[in-house]
Structure 1
Amino acid sequence: MANQLMFTQDNQDRIHAVENSFGPKGKPLSKPGRVLIGEGRLMKLSRRGPQPKVFFLFNDVLVYGSIILNGRWNKNQKIFPLEDIQLEDLEDSVTMRNQWLIRTPCKSFYVAAVSYEEKRAWMEHIEDWRSRLLQSGGCRPGSTFAVTWIPDHASAVCMRCADKFTMAQRRHHCRNCGFVVCGACSKKRAVIQHIHPTKWLRVCTTCHSSLDAKTQEMSRQRGNSTGKIGSDEDEVEGSSEEEEAEEQMEDHDPSRWMETLMDSLSPYVYLKPHHLRPQT
């Protein structure tokens, strides 16, 4: 009984510490039965190149955020249920070593660990606890996933109209296909159900047409006309604080080497041995 109480208190203290690190804007993380499994930093590929993020693996969700003060203050909290996560192993690239792809319905992104061993630890533990969650019978796996954004540097021209990007002609991303597009080719807005059921997101003209046709067909089948397709006059509400900031940034500096960024990573801490429920 004493061991059980110690386990429960230690786990709650760890979760409260993670919860508090995101401040008042973070969502509550304490929940009956939730256990903190591991934590550490990974490089996440964003529009401006690889950026260090802090990740927390729980027995039912994966949480990450932007680092403000190491170990004490984070922001832009993202929470993904483990049943909705799909992992894909990847070979090393020029800019990202020890990388893999994390797919979720609302966001898909590339991450990289400081070593191959840490990469395998992260992937195996995520898969292990996801399998346990699904085997418990209380959850169903996700079936639709968000596309990954094509990095800014991958195209010097709009991938729809081929206009060249300049300081005035900025890059944007279609939330439906992930293409790098210009402002003129991404004036349209649409609700993409698996990303967010109510918010209007930036989409390119090609995706807007296909989404419009699909929405109209679904409306006809339901016998109504409540389509969720907008135009450039619609208010953009769909981007998170992090994505809005990325939209306003200039092209990332290609001289910022991965080796320098990797030096800032802290090792993955696997907490499972300390969180195993003691036998009673």
Structure 2
Amino acid sequence: MVDRLANSEANTRRINIVENCFGAAGQPLTIPGRVLIGEGVLTKLCRKKPKARQFFLFNDILVYGNIVIQKKKYNKQHIIPLENVTIDSIKDEGDLRNGWLIKTPTKSFAVYAATATEKSEWMNHINKCVTDLLSKSGKTPSNEHAAVWVPDSEATVCMRCQKAKFTPVNRRHHCRKCGFVVCGPCSEKRFLLPSQSSKPVRICDFCYDLLSTGDMATCQPARSDSYSQSLKSPLNDVSDDDDDDDSSD
């Protein structure tokens, strides 16, 4: 089915519409063999709060962006190669339901669909696209994934020292290795994580010590699959991730 659509005029028109919605700031999406599988609005769990994002699933990439005018204009385009993607279902809890994790070596995050059926369709289509890509390329699934960031609202104190309380002066930071919310003194060091950046990035002291000794696997903590707390707590705007290239999230 995908192969038949690859060079069809209808598929080309659909992709052109997506390109036009992102405007000149977006990257070109039309290449030979690329097929637009589907699209829809998903709730992305961002750093400060859940936000609606428009997602487009192609047979080789996943594209998403901010909604400016629904069906007409989007900005802040993000493109994720599907061959690097792994997805895991998230258990329903509280107001956050029908979710799953999208994990890549560069960035990982949680998204939520409006219904269980929609979640199932998204996950099935993504898994099929990934399987087909890996089968054609002969590559193996990636076993390295960036940490899913703990939302700001889940941490009123530093998750490492357990002492520093976040205030407008003592601001939140995120460790790029474990995803924990940490204070400035607990995250003064930088370390090169090639899959995430070409320059050293902020990490917490705990991860720095482990990375420096080569014990990289231990830096990735076991994360709860519950994200409902992010909808329950009021947020103070006391986050500071100045080296985050997606600071709006």
TM-score category by the smaller chain? 0.7 to 0.9
Provide the C-alpha distance between the structure 2 equivalents of 1:117 and 1:5, rounded to a whole number of angstroms.
Answer: 25
Asked if structure 2 preserves the Cα contact closer than 8 Å seen for 1:200 and 1:238, the reply is no
TM-score, with normalisation over the residues of structure 2? Answer: 0.81
Provide the C-alpha distance between the structure 2 equivalents of 1:182 and 1:153, rounded to a whole number of angstroms.
Answer: 14
TM-score, with normalisation over the residues of structure 1? Answer: 0.73
State the identity %. Answer: 45
Asked if structure 2 preserves the Cα contact closer than 8 Å seen for 1:200 and 1:237, the reply is no
Shift, 1:173, TM fit: 0.6
Shift, 1:153, TM fit: 1.6
The amino acid across from 2:244 in the alignment is: S
* 1:51 aligned partner: 51
Structure 1 segment 125-164 matched on structure 2, within 5 A: 125-161=125-161, 162-164=163-165
Greater mean alpha carbon deviation, residues 171-180 or residues 88-97: 88-97
Structure 2 gap ranges (5+): 216-240
Q: 1:130-168: per-residue Cα shift (whole Å, max 9, x none)?
A: 111122235442120011011112121101222111122
**Which of 225, 240, 244 in structure 2 is aligned with 1:239?**
244
Q: 1:152-201: per-residue Cα shift (whole Å, max 9, x none)?
A: 121211012221111221211111110101122222222212223x1332
- Describe the SS at the equivalent of 1:209: helix
Q: Rg: which structure is higher?
A: 1
The amino acid across from 1:175 in the alignment is: R
Provide the C-alpha distance between the structure 2 equivalents of 1:180 and 1:132, rounded to a whole number of angstroms.
Answer: 37
**1:189 lines up with 2:190 in the alignment:** yes
* 2:232 aligned partner: none
The amino acid across from 2:42 in the alignment is: L
Structure 1 segment 92-171 matched on structure 2, within 5 A: 92-161=92-161, 162-171=163-172
* 1:180 aligned partner: 181
Shift, 1:25, TM fit: 2.2
Provide the C-alpha distance between the structure 2 equivalents of 1:107 and 1:211, rounded to a whole number of angstroms.
Answer: 19
* 2:86 aligned partner: 86
Shift, 1:213, TM fit: 3.4
* 2:23 aligned partner: 23
Asked if structure 1 preserves the Cα contact closer than 8 Å seen for 2:6 and 2:32, the reply is no
* 1:276 aligned partner: none
Residues 126, 13 of structure 1: alpha-carbon distance in 2 compared, 3 angstrom cutoff: same
Asked if structure 1 preserves the Cα contact closer than 8 Å seen for 2:41 and 2:55, the reply is yes
Residues 181, 34 of structure 1: alpha-carbon distance in 2 compared, 3 angstrom cutoff: same
Asked if structure 2 preserves the Cα contact closer than 8 Å seen for 1:86 and 1:103, the reply is yes
For these two proteins, the number of residue pairs brought into alignment is 220
The amino acid across from 2:72 in the alignment is: R
Asked if structure 1 preserves the Cα contact closer than 8 Å seen for 2:7 and 2:33, the reply is no
Provide the C-alpha distance between the structure 1 equivalents of 2:84 and 2:242, rounded to a whole number of angstroms.
Answer: 23
- Describe the SS at the equivalent of 2:93: coil
Shift, 1:6, TM fit: 11
Provide the C-alpha distance between the structure 1 equivalents of 2:170 and 2:132, rounded to a whole number of angstroms.
Answer: 48
* 1:249 aligned partner: none
Q: 1:243-270: per-residue Cα shift (whole Å, max 9, x none)?
A: 3x35xxxxxxxxxxxxxxxxxxxxxxxx
Structure 1 gap ranges (5+): 216-235, 247-280
Provide the C-alpha distance between the structure 1 equivalents of 2:195 and 2:5, rounded to a whole number of angstroms.
Answer: 40
* 1:75 aligned partner: 75
